[in-house]
Amino acid sequence: MTFRIDSSFLPVDLGGGASLVLRDLDTVDEMLALTERNLGRLRKWEHWAHAEQTREALAAYTTWLVSQYSLGYAVPAAIRLDDQLVGAVTARTDSYSLVTELGFWIDGAFEGRGLVGRASAALVHRLQNAGAPRIEIKTSVQNDRSRRVAERLGFVHEGTLRSALQVGDTRHDLAVYSWVPLTDQ
């Protein structure tokens, strides 16, 4: 089976008023406001959160993500709950290895409601059905919430890369989780 991301990946109804939608230029202002509200939380785990957050930079990144979506190498999704943007789930595929990395975050006000898990599960399911040969989730070993999401999705903890994640001025050990299809090997 050939692995291919296409426009059928989005939107996704997650039930209970929640959905996954394309994170495009129409979401930039809302995503910027959401990011700014959550910078204190995000800076603990995300290196990008330490940079200045501007509309121009976010628009440029969003434009790049959408171009990667059209080429079949990314799924930039926003999590909406009752038409309010509350988080993001993004899958990016390396064009050479075809390994897809999944990343996610949610507004602190909506944490613990299962939205990240449902959104991630829906995206992983689509990636699996499209023939993804390998999906990874990488996170700081200290990020218990993200590690639990990976484990609930059935990903296998393959190991820890020592001092492999830069977050601000701090180095973190990186937990690597993966999903690979079952084979007859």
Helices (H) and strands (E) in the chain, counts: 5, 8
Structural domain contains residue 136: no
pLDDT of residue 143: 96
At 86-112, the pLDDT tens digits run 999 999 999 999 999 999 999 999 999
Structural domain contains residue 108: yes
Compute the distance between CA of residue 71 and CA of residue 92 in angstroms, rounded to an integer. Answer: 11
Q: Which residue has the higher pLDDT, 4 or 99?
A: 99
Residue 183 has pLDDT above 70, yes or no: no
Structural domain contains residue 46: yes
pLDDT of residue 134: 97
Structural domain contains residue 58: yes
Compute the distance between CA of residue 59 and CA of residue 31 in angstroms, rounded to an integer. Answer: 10
Residue 1 has pLDDT above 70, yes or no: no
Q: Quote the tokens at residue 117.
A: 């898990």
CATH number of the domain enclosing 103: 3.40.630.30
Amino acid identity at 146: S
Residues in Cβ contact with 167 at an 8 Å cutoff, skipping those fewer than 6 apart: 43, 44, 45, 46, 47, 50, 140
Name the band, by pLDDT with cuts 50, 70 and 90, for residue 4: confident
Structural domain contains residue 176: no
Poorest-confidence range of 26-35, 81-90, 102-111, 176-185? 176-185
Look at residue 143 and give its three-state secondary structure: coil
Percent with pLDDT over 70 in the chain: 97
Indicate the DSSP class of residue 97.
T
Structural domain contains residue 183: no
Structural domain contains residue 95: yes
The position carrying tokens 């492999």 is: 164
User: Residue range 72-89: average pLDDT?
Assistant: 97
User: Residue range 113-125: average pLDDT?
Assistant: 97
Provide the domain count of the chain. Answer: 1
User: Residue range 120-145: average pLDDT?
Assistant: 96
pLDDT of residue 184: 47
Residue 2 has pLDDT above 80, yes or no: no
Q: In terms of Cα–Cα distance, which of 144, 81, 158 is closest to 118? A: 81
Domain containing 106: what range?
7-130
Name the band, by pLDDT with cuts 50, 70 and 90, for residue 78: very high
Compute the distance between CA of residue 145 and CA of residue 177 in angstroms, rounded to an integer. Answer: 14
At 9-22, the pLDDT tens digits run 999 999 999 999 99
Structural domain contains residue 64: yes
